[in-house]
Amino acid sequence: MAVITAAALLVWAAVPPDTIAIGPGCAPKGTRAHISAMISGDHFWQAQADAIAEEQQRLIVQQNKGDADFNTINNIEAKMDRLSAREASGRDEEQREAFHEQRQKERLGRLTWLAKCADAVQDNMK
């Protein structure tokens, strides 16, 4: 029974994860990722390249959607202000803009890291 368990555990660890399994330095993160990279080699790195590309695309879509949502919200609020004949609170607007800018910075930071790691992943597949 122990042999079967060990074999199943080894197979599980060797199968490349389909999510990003690399850390800040773009090296495998965690025991499973290290084992998978050693045993699967290029299959692990290809799975990482695919996961990185997928996340990059998701972040770009979020960025575009976030910009559109932010603009839509501002347009709706401006129309509401005109209809109710009152001005929006400058503080509320500043808070929304600060939150939006923080989200953009976070996405940009993640996209920058993903681009750096995409290069490292390509280097590991050579």
Residues near 26 by Cβ (< 8 Å), separated by ≥ 6? Answer: 116, 117, 120, 121
Note the pLDDT of residue 68: 66
CA 48/CA 63 separation, integer angstroms: 22
Partners of 28 in the β-ladder? 22
Residue 53 banded pLDDT, cuts 50, 70, 90:
very high
Residue 106 banded pLDDT, cuts 50, 70, 90:
very high
DSSP string, 22-80: B-TTSSB-SHHHHHHHHHHTHHHHHHHHHHHHHHHHHHHHHHHHHHHHHHHHHHHHHHH
Note the pLDDT of residue 111: 94
Note the pLDDT of residue 93: 74
Instruction: Give percent of the chain with pLDDT exceeding 70.
Output: 75
> Helix %, strand %, coil % for the chain, to 5?
80, 0, 20
User: Is residue 109 pLDDT above 60, yes or no?
Assistant: yes
Please give the single-letter amino acid code of residue 36.
Answer: S
Annotated domain spans of the chain: 2-124
Q: How far is CA 20 from the centre of its chain?
A: 9
Q: Write out pLDDT tens, residues 14-44.
A: 788 889 999 999 999 999 999 999 998 999 9
- Residue predicted with more confidence, 63 or 85: 63
User: Is residue 88 pLDDT above 50, yes or no?
Assistant: no
